[in-house]
A and B are shown apart, each in its own frame.
Chain A
C-alpha cells in the first residue's frame, strides 16, 4: 500500500438516535446506560414477532433545516432521507463550515443506506382501486387506473442514493458522490471509501455517514420475516443483548450519523476543531463466516494505521445479538486482541439501525476517545462463554490508550474495520 501522505481527520459530528440527537445528549445517554428501545409507537405492533424498537422520539427536520427552499424538498423525501440530510447538515455546522466556504468541486459526499421502504399510503389507494373482488389486485387495472393514484415523484422519494443527492444539493458538494448499500456494513464501507478518495487528493472535505429507518410497517413486516429479532416483550429496554448468554435476536432501530471528514492541512488552515484522526481502514469478505477473514481485515486496518493491537483502547463491536453473529464476531476480536481489550457494543441502547449503525456507533467511539470516557455495554448481564471477549459492562471506564477500532459486517460476510486515533493536537 502506498504511503498515505495526506492525513484525514474528523472535524464535524451529527447524530440522530433514539437516545439523543446531538453529540452531548447522545454521549451522556450512553454513559448513563439509557435505552431508547420501547414498545413501537408509530403503529400498533401486536401482530409482529418483535414488538419493540428504537424509535427517535421527536424527529423534526424543520428544527435543523431552516432554509425554505430546502424545506420544500421534504415532501420528496422518505423519513430515512430526511434523517440523513439532517445528520449531514448538523455535522457540517458542527464543523463550522458554511455553504460556499470551501471549493465545492473538492467537496464530496458518501452515505451508507439500505432499501428505503415505501410508505403504505403512497400505494394504498392505487392497490385498492385495482382490486378485483377479494383479490388479487389486477395488473390490468393497476396499469390503467391504479398507477394514477401513486404520487408522481414516488420513486425518487425512496431511491437509496437520495440521502447523498439531497446532501450534495443542500450543502453544494460537487465532488465525488456515492452511496454504499452493504447492509450493516454500509456506513463503515462508505467512510473507508471517502477516506481513500481524500487520500488520493481529489477532494479536501467529505460529508459522510449513514442513515436508515425501519420505523414503517413495510420494513417491519419484511425484517420480522427474515431477521432474527428478539421476542422479548416484558421489558423492551432489555431486549437487545449483545454477547449476552440469553440474547434472542436484534431489535430494529433507526438512526442517522454524519461526519465531516477533512484533509488535515485543510482543516488546520481554517482553524477547525479536530475530534479524531482516521488512521486505518480495511474491508473484506468473510466467506466461511468463521471469523478468519474478519480477523485478517482488522489486522490489515491496524497494520495500515501502524498500530499494535495492545495500543487499542477498545473495540467498538457490531453486537447484533443474534445466535450466529456474536460468536462469529467474538472469535475474530479474540483472535486479534486476545481476552483483555475492552469491547463495547452500542446496539443494546438503541437496537440495530442497519446501514446507519456504523456511523452512529463510530461517533460513540470518537466521543469516547475525545472525552476520555468509555461508556458501558447495556444488557450484557451474563457474558456468553461462546463469546470469550472482554465486553465492557461496568460503569464508565477511563480511556487509557489512544486508538479505537470500529467493526461492522453483514450476515453474508462483508466486513469493514476502521481505526481512529484520539486527537492530541
Chain B
C-alpha cells in the first residue's frame, strides 16, 4: 500500500519503571506502580503530593562528560540517554557507513522547567501586598540579577532535539512538536511520513518530558486533572475503574529508530516490528475537555486503520491512552466501541498509565514501545488498580494481571489537551 515500508530497528526508554526497554516491560508485566511521594521538590503541602518519578537517574552512565549538560533540563537529559540506547540498539551509534544527513530526529518533547525559586522571589519582591500588581521595573531588576542565562536557554524546546542531533551526529530533518499529551505519538507518526515520502531513511523519534516541578503540579492541580489520592499513591492511577479521580503525573523519555525497510535490511539491522498506520485529528471542540462522544478519537482510530489498510478485526490489542480521568476513559471507551463494534468486547484494552503514570509528551512513544514488546513477547500488560467496574467502561481492560495472547497488531492511542488525537498501529514484521 505504501511504497516505502517503515520498521522499528531500535528502542530506548528512561521511565519510572526502569532505565531500559527490558525493565520497562518486565515491571509492567509484574503490575508494578512507579508512583510515590514527590522527591523532585518539597511538594508535601500541594493538593497532590505524589508522582511517578524516574529513580536513580545518572546521566554519567549514559554519556561522556555529562557536565556539558548540567544546565539542561531533565527532559534533555532523559532524551540523551534514551536516544543513545535506541541508536545503539539499531547499530546506528558511531556508524559512519550510514550517510548521517539521511537520519533525522523528530521529538515530541516539552520545555524545561522554570527556575522556581528565582522566578517566584523576583515576582514576590516586585508585587506589593496592597493590590498585588507586579511592577515590571522591579521584576526586571531582580530577575536579571538572579536568573541563569544557560538555564533559561536550555528551557527552550528546540534545544532537546538539537542536543540529541549534535551528540549523535544526526543531520537529517530535525523537528520538535508540542501537542501536549499526544506529542510523542504525533512525532512518531510524522516521522513515519518523513520516511515514507523519502525525506529521510531513518528517524530517531519519540519524546521526553518532566513536569514534576512546582509549576507543573500547580498547573495540573488547578485544572483538577491530577489524582489526589495522597494516602495511597500506587493505587491512584486506576484507568477505567469507577473510582478513578485523575491521572498521576509521570516523567521520562522513550525513543525509537524508524527506518525504511530496505535500508534496514541492507545493513542487517534488527527489525522489531513494522509501523503500519498513523492517524491524527483535532476534536475542534474545547481546549478544556475532549469531545464527550469521542468524535475526534473515532475519526483518528479509523484513519489509522485506513492508513494501514486494515479492518478493525485485524487489531489484537489496544494500548489505551487510559489516563484515569473520568472524561478520558469514558470517551475513549465510547470511541473504541464505535470503531470496533461488537468486536470491541473481544478486544483487550489496557493502560500502561495505571503503572507508569502519565509521561505527558513522552507518554505516546513509551506506550508504543510497550505495544512492540507485547507483540514480541506475547504477553499483554495489565491495567492495575482495576477494582470497581464503571458501567460506562465495560470493555476487557486486562485487569490487574498480565495475560498471554498472541498479538500481531496493536493500536496505541494518545489524546492531548486541546483536542489533539493520535493513533498508531504497529504490526509484527512479516515479509
Query: Complex formed: what's the CA distance from A331 to B163 in Å?
Result: 23
Q: Which residues of B contact A178 (CB under 8 A)?
A: 177, 179, 186, 190, 280
A207 CB to closest chain B CB (Å) equals 11
Besides A121-B134, A175-B282, A178-B177, 4 more A-B contacts (Cβ < 8 Å) are A125-B127, A155-B220, A183-B156, A217-B136
Query: Complex formed: what's the CA distance from A189 to B162 in Å?
Result: 14
B237 interface residue (CB < 8 Å to A) = no
Of the residues A45, A120, A135, A221, contact of B134 by C-beta under 8 Å: A120
Residue ranges of B at the interface with A (Cβ–Cβ < 8 Å): 3, 41-47, 49, 101, 104-105, 111, 116-117, 119-121, 123-129, 132-134, 136-137, 139-141, 143-144, 147-150, 152-153, 155-159, 161-163, 165-166, 169-180, 186, 190, 193-194, 196-199, 214, 218-223, 280-288, 295-296, 299, 303, 416-420
A169 interface residue (CB < 8 Å to B) = yes
Query: Complex formed: what's the CA distance from A151 to B219 in Å?
Result: 9
Query: Complex formed: what's the CA distance from A131 to B126 in Å?
Result: 12
A340 interface residue (CB < 8 Å to B) = no
A329 interface residue (CB < 8 Å to B) = no
Of the residues A47, A139, A202, A284, contact of B101 by C-beta under 8 Å: A284
- Are B157 and A169 in contact, CB atoms less than 8 angstroms apart? no
Query: Complex formed: what's the CA distance from A222 to B114 in Å?
Result: 11
Of the residues A130, A182, A186, contact of B124 by C-beta under 8 Å: A130
A165 interface residue (CB < 8 Å to B) = yes
Which residues of A, 164-213, contact B by the 8 Å Cβ criterion? 164-166, 168-169, 172-183, 185-186, 189, 193, 196-197, 199-200, 202
Query: Complex formed: what's the CA distance from A160 to B180 in Å?
Result: 8
Given A43-B137, A225-B147, residue A137 in contact with residue B120 (CB < 8 A) = yes
Query: Complex formed: what's the CA distance from A317 to B27 in Å?
Result: 51
- Are A413 and B165 in contact, CB atoms less than 8 angstroms apart? yes
- Are B174 and A177 in contact, CB atoms less than 8 angstroms apart? no
A234 interface residue (CB < 8 Å to B) = no
Can you list 29 A-B contacts with CB-CB less than 8 angstroms, sorted by A residue number? A47-B140, A47-B141, A104-B284, A108-B282, A123-B120, A125-B132, A127-B121, A127-B127, A137-B117, A139-B42, A147-B47, A147-B218, A156-B418, A165-B282, A168-B418, A173-B284, A174-B299, A179-B177, A179-B178, A181-B176, A221-B143, A225-B152, A226-B150, A283-B174, A285-B173, A293-B101, A293-B171, A414-B158, A414-B162
Of the residues B119, B124, B134, B299, contact of A105 by C-beta under 8 Å: B299
Q: Which residues of B contact A139 (CB under 8 A)?
A: 41-43, 45, 116, 214
B429 CB to closest chain A CB (Å) equals 23
A2 interface residue (CB < 8 Å to B) = yes
A-B contact count (CB 8 A): 303
Query: Complex formed: what's the CA distance from A5 to B410 in Å?
Result: 32
A179 CB to closest chain B CB (Å) equals 5
Q: Which residues of B contact A109 (CB under 8 A)?
A: 282
Query: Complex formed: what's the CA distance from A128 to B122 in Å?
Result: 10
Residue in B closest to A109 when the chains form the complex, CB atoms: B282
Given A137-B117, A161-B420, residue A174 in contact with residue B139 (CB < 8 A) = no
Query: Complex formed: what's the CA distance from A371 to B40 in Å?
Result: 57
Q: Which 10 A-B pairs have the closest CB atoms?
A: A412-B162, A165-B418, A155-B219, A143-B45, A43-B136, A177-B282, A127-B123, A226-B153, A47-B140, A124-B127
A151 CB to closest chain B CB (Å) equals 8
A309 interface residue (CB < 8 Å to B) = no
Residue ranges of A at the interface with B (Cβ–Cβ < 8 Å): 1-2, 43-48, 73, 76, 104-105, 108-109, 113-115, 120-121, 123-128, 130-131, 135-137, 139-144, 147, 150-156, 159-162, 164-166, 168-169, 172-183, 185-186, 189, 193, 196-197, 199-200, 202, 217-218, 220-222, 224-226, 282-287, 293, 296, 410, 412-414
Of the residues A128, A177, A221, A412, contact of B420 by C-beta under 8 Å: A177
Query: Complex formed: what's the CA distance from A388 to B61 in Å?
Result: 45
Q: Which residues of B contact A2 (CB under 8 A)?
A: 3, 197-198
- Are A182 and B176 in contact, CB atoms less than 8 angstroms apart? yes
Residue in A closest to B281 when the chains form the complex, CB atoms: A174
- Are B158 and A183 in contact, CB atoms less than 8 angstroms apart? yes
- Are B124 and A135 in contact, CB atoms less than 8 angstroms apart? yes
Most buried by A among B49, B101, B123, B286: B123
Main secondary structure of the interface of B (DSSP, over half): mixed
Given A139-B214, A183-B158, A200-B197, residue A105 in contact with residue B281 (CB < 8 A) = yes
Given A120-B139, A139-B45, residue A175 in contact with residue B287 (CB < 8 A) = no
Given A2-B197, A285-B105, residue A115 in contact with residue B157 (CB < 8 A) = yes
- Are B155 and A115 in contact, CB atoms less than 8 angstroms apart? yes
- Are B171 and A287 in contact, CB atoms less than 8 angstroms apart? yes
Q: Which residues of A contact B283 (CB under 8 A)?
A: 168, 174
Given A169-B285, A172-B284, A285-B105, residue A177 in contact with residue B117 (CB < 8 A) = no
- Are A153 and B158 in contact, CB atoms less than 8 angstroms apart? no
Query: Complex formed: what's the CA distance from A127 to B218 in Å?
Result: 12
- Are B284 and A286 in contact, CB atoms less than 8 angstroms apart? no
Q: Which residues of B contact A168 (CB under 8 A)?
A: 282-284, 418-419
- Are A202 and B141 in contact, CB atoms less than 8 angstroms apart? no
Of the residues B123, B126, B178, contact of A160 by C-beta under 8 Å: B178
- Are A413 and B162 in contact, CB atoms less than 8 angstroms apart? yes
Of the residues B116, B222, B286, B418, contact of A164 by C-beta under 8 Å: B418
Q: Which residues of B contact A175 (CB under 8 A)?
A: 281-282
Q: Which residues of A contact B419 (CB under 8 A)?
A: 165, 168-169, 177
Q: Which residues of B contact A142 (CB under 8 A)?
A: 45, 120, 214, 218
Q: Which residues of B contact A181 (CB under 8 A)?
A: 157-158, 176-178
Q: Which residues of B contact A183 (CB under 8 A)?
A: 156-158
B127 CB to closest chain A CB (Å) equals 4
- Are B197 and A284 in contact, CB atoms less than 8 angstroms apart? no
Of the residues B119, B140, B288, contact of A153 by C-beta under 8 Å: B288
- Are A169 and B44 in contact, CB atoms less than 8 angstroms apart? no
Query: Complex formed: what's the CA distance from A283 to B166 in Å?
Result: 15
- Are B137 and A47 in contact, CB atoms less than 8 angstroms apart? yes
Given A120-B139, A165-B419, A177-B280, residue A128 in contact with residue B285 (CB < 8 A) = no
A154 CB to closest chain B CB (Å) equals 6
- Are A165 and B420 in contact, CB atoms less than 8 angstroms apart? yes
- Are A173 and B282 in contact, CB atoms less than 8 angstroms apart? yes
Given A140-B44, A147-B218, A221-B139, residue A413 in contact with residue B284 (CB < 8 A) = no
Q: Which residues of A contact B193 (CB under 8 A)?
A: 196-197, 200
- Are A1 and B198 in contact, CB atoms less than 8 angstroms apart? yes
Most buried by A among B190, B284, B419: B284
Residue in B closest to A185 when the chains form the complex, CB atoms: B158
Residue in B closest to A77 when the chains form the complex, CB atoms: B287
Given A178-B177, A221-B140, A410-B162, residue A140 in contact with residue B42 (CB < 8 A) = yes
Q: Which residues of A contact B120 (CB under 8 A)?
A: 123, 126-127, 130, 136-137, 142
Q: Which residues of B contact A414 (CB under 8 A)?
A: 158, 161-162, 174-175
- Are A135 and B121 in contact, CB atoms less than 8 angstroms apart? yes
Query: Complex formed: what's the CA distance from A246 to B140 in Å?
Result: 28
